[in-house]
Structure 1
């Protein structure tokens, strides 16, 4: 039996979907800016909706709560880091030290661009969010860090090196750079090369 052909979406339906996605992205950007500037507690749904010319009640069509909106903002921020790393590794040879340095430079390129999403995913800033949100946000962070764990696992480190501590030291250095970095003197690539140079151990 020949099945009936699926009905193609009407042009107006596709247009509504596109407009809905655009409004959602606008809400994410507005929320990211306000959370970064005023904190989670200092930002209201009314503030975010007003920033995009929307009634507060209409925002709930896209997000059920301010907490759900925060999670979406955080995930979008993490996705930016992941995309930068994927692109960097796609241009890098498979040599382990070069790969980890490229990933660090990509991480720093997003972290140090001064953007709202970069600030929101910073561990120091995350501590200001509601405690009940931390487990799910930390799970997103852990998922992102697994990209680095795989790269660190491939490094020819000295026998007995604690690779978890290596990761913690590396991320501590990378993320702390957000507090002192000023454009001009160093590039993200310069900083990544310096950090990896300090952590790198000569083979026996």
Structure 2
């Protein structure tokens, strides 16, 4: 008896892409892009190295897919958190807190997006920059909605906030405050001089 394709169960190789992405995200976040080979990813997923190329044409292509998923997941979480707020400063604080929750939690994808800068991978820098920019644009809009004085450079404020948020990976440890508490303090520090 011949099964038609719609009733056929997907083969194991068809289901491996999410596993490969998760493994690559974990390894890239722990070791960095250049320290991880396709062979490392294949070994960790229990595949032959050549089998990875069925799903991803190159290591750069795999990184792009990891980065794309990372940006998508963080952006969706931030967008949902912002929707729950009315005040522009509360929206910015919610975005910062959610960004930190993703970054400091177990989200290897978020760590890849913040640790591997587009300029670190020259061959796909424009593509990674575009993905990262699409996420950072959320903060551009949130800051624009604050109604700041013309003397406040919104670009520097955005870069300061994102730099402070992303640097928590280098100093944060459990017990150093919750992501939402850190975000609240950061917004106080940034907002008080501006609100005067």
TM-score range, shorter-chain basis? Answer: 0.7 to 0.9
Q: 1:10 is matched with which residue? A: 6
What secondary structure, in the 3-state scheme, does the structure 1 residue paired with 2:54 have?
coil
TM-score (norm 2): 0.88
Picking from 117, 121, 135, the partner of 1:144 is 135
Say if 1:45 and 1:19 are closer, same or farther in 2 by CA, change over 3 A.
Answer: closer
Picking from 92, 100, 109, the partner of 2:92 is 100
Say if 1:88 and 1:17 are closer, same or farther in 2 by CA, change over 3 A.
Answer: farther
Structure-2 separation of matches of 1:41 and 1:163: 34
Q: When the two structures are aligned, how many residues end up with a matched partner?
A: 191
Q: 1:51 is matched with which residue? A: 44
What secondary structure, in the 3-state scheme, does the structure 1 residue paired with 2:123 have?
helix
Give yes or no for contact 2:118–2:126 (8 Å, CA) kept in 1: no
Q: Shift of the alpha carbon at 1:84?
A: 1.2
Q: 1:75 is matched with which residue? A: 68
Deviations 1:82-123 (A, max 9, x none): 12102212322x21111111011010101111542222111x
Tell me which stretches of 4 or more aligned residues in structure 1 moved more than 4 Å: none
Structure-2 separation of matches of 1:38 and 1:143: 25
1:162 paired with 2:175, answer no
Deviations 1:7-38 (A, max 9, x none): x96211xx328962x31000001111222233
1:184 paired with 2:178, answer no
In angstroms, what is the RMSD of aligned CA positions?
Answer: 2.1
1:197 paired with 2:191, answer no
Q: How does 1:16-27 map to 2 (within 5 A)?
A: 16=10, 20=14, 22-27=15-20
Q: Shift of the alpha carbon at 1:81?
A: 0.9
Q: Shift of the alpha carbon at 1:185?
A: 3.1
Give yes or no for contact 2:70–2:112 (8 Å, CA) kept in 1: yes
Deviations 1:50-107 (A, max 9, x none): 2222222221111111110011111111122112102212322x21111111011010
Q: Which has the higher helix share?
A: 2
1:120 paired with 2:121, answer no
Give yes or no for contact 2:118–2:129 (8 Å, CA) kept in 1: no
TM-score (norm 1): 0.85
Say if 1:80 and 1:18 are closer, same or farther in 2 by CA, change over 3 A.
Answer: farther
Q: 2:101 is matched with which residue? A: 109
Gaps in structure 1 of 5+ consecutive residues: 1-7
